[in-house]
Amino acid sequence: MKARHRRFAWIGAGLVVLGVAVALVLNAFQSNLVFFFTPSQVAAHEAPTSRPFRIGGLVEQGSLKREPNSLTVHFLVTDTAKTVPVTYTGLLPDLFKEGKGVVAQGTLGQDGAFHATEVLAKHDENYMPPAAKDAIDQAHRNKPEAMPSMHEAAQ
């Protein structure tokens, strides 16, 4: 075994050990690395109750209600299994829409409603021109039982 082969073996072994160590650390911190909790996790009491956290999911179709003469809005965040009602006072991002992804930061109240201090729109990975989107929407209107997710439509 030449000296340089031994050096490469050490480099390789070092990287493997490092990779395993990082994998274990990331696994241990799994719950701290998630950006948001899903409504199902909130329903299963996995989300923290004492401190603010983020909740993420889709804005349920037809659930958005604006209070007259104020910036307060009410909507439901769903992951299609569970839903959580959210109350927010402030400006919504441009991409905030029913049926689209949303991430809200705030606290869970005693009443089970989520009081958001910040609402972000979560964009999906689909990019398409308006004409293509119209075509997909048209197809969904003709087949109402199909899932209204562009993600699955694209696959």
Binding positions for other proteins, rule: CB under 8 A: 4, 7-8, 11, 14-15, 18-19, 22, 26, 30, 33-38, 56, 92-97, 100, 103, 118-134, 151, 154-155
Q: Are strands 114-122 and 83-89 parallel, antiparallel or unpaired?
A: parallel
Nearest-approach distance from CB 96 to other proteins, in angstroms:
8
Q: Are 120 and 93 in contact (CB under 8 A)?
A: yes
Shortest separation between residue 141's beta carbon and other proteins, angstroms: 16
Q: Report the residue number, 25 or 145, with the smaller CB distance to other proteins.
A: 25
What's the CA dihedral at 129, 134, 137, 143 to 10 degrees? -130
Closest CA to 35 of 10, 22, 49, 54: 54
In this structure, the number of other CB atoms found within 10 A of the CB of residue 28 comes to: 10
The residue (of 31 and 49) whose beta carbon lies closer to other proteins is 31
Minimum Å distance from CB 142 to other proteins? 19
Pick 37 or 114: Cβ nearer other proteins:
37
Q: Minimum CB separation from other proteins for residue 1, in Å? A: 13
* Cα dihedral across residues 79, 108, 86, 36: positive or negative: negative
Q: How far is the CB of 110 from other proteins (least distance, A)?
A: 25
Looking at the Cβ atoms of 76 and 104, the one nearer to other proteins is 104
How many alpha carbons fall within 13 Å on the CB side of residue 102? 30
Smaller CB distance to other proteins: residue 4 or 143?
4
